[in-house]
Each structure stands twice: as structure tokens, then as C-alpha cells.
Amino acid sequence: MNNTIQTAVVGVTGYAGAELARLLLHHPRLKGTPPAFAGRVDQKDIARGGVPLAEIHPQLAGGFSGQLTMQPFSWNLLADLGVDLLFLATPHEQSREWVPEALARGLRVIDLSGAWRLEEAANRAVYGFDDEDSQQAAEIQAQAVYGLPELHRAQIAGARLVANPGCYATSVILALKPLVAAGLVDLDHGIVADSKSGVSGAGKSPTAKTHFMYAADNLSAYGVFTHRHTGELLEQIGVDSSEIVFTPHLLPIPRGILSTIYVHFRKPQTAAGVSRVYRDFFAGSPMVRLYDKSLPQIQYVARTNYADIGFLLDADGRRAVIVSCLDNLLKGASSQAVQNMNVMLGWREAEGLE
């Protein structure tokens, strides 16, 4: 496809929406064709043609970006603007409602919510979707592609609906999938994934546990055995719930995820051998950086579009500690969505991201 593609973002007001807007506004293939922005607009703002983007996110002011507005959402608006590709940075329930209409209208969709990530009903139960038993939902779920290019690049290229992965899930899946797929991991010993995220991972709406007085100078576990991203780990890594324990934590920093993952191997491994597994698996994956002589840190990935992975083996080569880091608002959300767009449209995967 050519570079006259018209994109639209619904849900630009959030943290991930702001990053998505920034990336699309600076994408080399979209110069001269800025994204349209739509959402909920108060009556007082409709009269002036919507809410200026620079008022929502002042950091995006300047140049022609200062002339863009968030207009009241309607399907007619998207049709009038000639939108080809729709990004939904909306709540799960909203995406669940709107995706069927978007597909029926011929739009291609990248959904940043969890609405269509999970193939198995038992894993989707955590969301409690009202349409769970409908034929329409089943048909749409069947065509949704899990949007992790490092695993599903070929399927994403032809997809009409891409379900952008969760941020925690991305960090854990990328670290574990190569080793599990190669048959190295002794699943009977179990895997422990201990993940920590900055406060922005909880979204923009404040809660009792994300405001400054709770989060600052604190570290807390939450969602133990119940976190929504667990199903993604099971389905994408290919493990059973009895074979992995995933525990997320709230880290008192604005952004970033660090996952520390503990595995046993079926037989002793060498560092060179494990490194080779990772490098073979991620050959041609420009947004993954592999560490051989040190371990990743959040400060190395914050405000970048990369996922960083490193590991260390114990003395006998039977156990490994893997550290996986990414920016939850970028490779964990918006830049992953742009990466998926690049793959869907046949552009260079890292275009606009390096």
C-alpha cells in the first residue's frame, strides 16, 4: 500500500494515546496525511470544531500539529475523512462494541485494548464481556491476530483486526517464547515471572492506589493469580496455568516495565547456546535488543521503542534469570501499534520507530 493511507485515533486523551499521536505525526510515511483524532467532545467545544490537540497534550503543540483537533466521534466522520486504518485506544468494553462496526465498514483496526487478545473463553472470562456467547463475537475473535510482530509477523501482514498485546505480556512473552519453543525449559519445575511497572501502566484516571501519596516510596504487588495479562502468557508462550506464576507490582516511577523471570532447563546450557536461541528467534526483529554481557535496566528503554532482553546462567547451567525491559507506553502499547501498522501496510517494520 502507498503512503496516502489515512489513519485515525480514537482515545487520544490517555497516556498511550498521546504517544501514539506523537509517533503518527512524525512517521515518515504519513507526512502530509496526519491522523484524524476523534473522541468524546463536550457541547461547548463542538461549536469551535473540536478540542485542539495542543490543549489535550501541550507537548504536541508546534507546527501544523497545533492546528489539529479532536472531533466528536462518529462513523460518518471517519467515512467523510476517508479513514483506512483505525487505532482504538479505548476501554476494553468500548472496543468490544465498536470493532464489529468498524470491520463492517471496511476499516482495518489496531485495537490497543484487551477486547480481542484472547482466543480461549476461559481466559477472556476475566473481562466479563456481555457478548461472550454471541456468534458475531466468535467470528470476529477468529479473525483477530495477536499483535506481537516478533511472533506473528506473517499473520499481521494480512490482518483486518490486530489486537495489540498487553504491556506486561509483551515483556514476559518475548523473554520466554524463544526458550520454550526450543524445548529448553523444564516446565515441570515451573516458571516465575516477577514484573514491575511504572504508574502510567494503570492509565490516566487516578485511583486510590495510583495517586502520589500511595505510590511514592512504595512497592506493592497486585492482581496476584488474577491479572488480565495472564491469559496472554498462557496462550502465546504455550504453557499451562500450573507451569507459570506471574506477579505484577506497582513501581513508584512514571513509566517502564522490568520483568525478572526464573527458569529451570531440561539439561545444562551454556551462555553461548542460550544466546544463539535468542538471536535465531529474533533475527529480523528490529525492535528487540539482546544483551550478552549485562542485564537490561528500565533507564535504558524508557522513552524508546525497544524491548531489551538479557540473561545470566547459574554455575551448572541448569537455571537462568532473564531480565526483560520495555517502556509500557511505547513497545508496551503505542509504538507496538505503529510497528503493527508498518507490518500491515507492507512498510519497513521499524519505520518511524528507530
Active site residues: 167
Q: How many CB atoms lie within 10 A of CB 183?
A: 11
Which residue is it, cell 494480512? 158
Q: Are 340 and 333 in contact (CB under 8 A)?
A: no
DSSP label at 12? T
Alpha-carbon gap, residue 191 to 27, rounded angstroms: 39
Backbone phi and psi for residue 353, each to the nearest 5 degrees, phi listed first: -120, -20
User: Cell numbers 536461541 label which residue?
Assistant: 277
Contacts of residue 275, defined as CB under 8 A and 6 or more positions apart, other chains included, come to 290, 292
- Decide if 354 contacts 305 (C-beta within 8 A): yes
Task: Report yes or no: 319 and 313 within 8 Å, Cβ to Cβ.
Answer: yes
Residue 161 is placed in which grid cell? 483486526
Distance CA 266, CA 48 (A): 65
Strand partners, 193: 246, 261
Three-state DSSP state, 196: strand
What pairs with residue 326 in β-bridges?
257, 307
| Residue 99 amino acid letter | V
The three cell numbers of residue 215 are 505510590
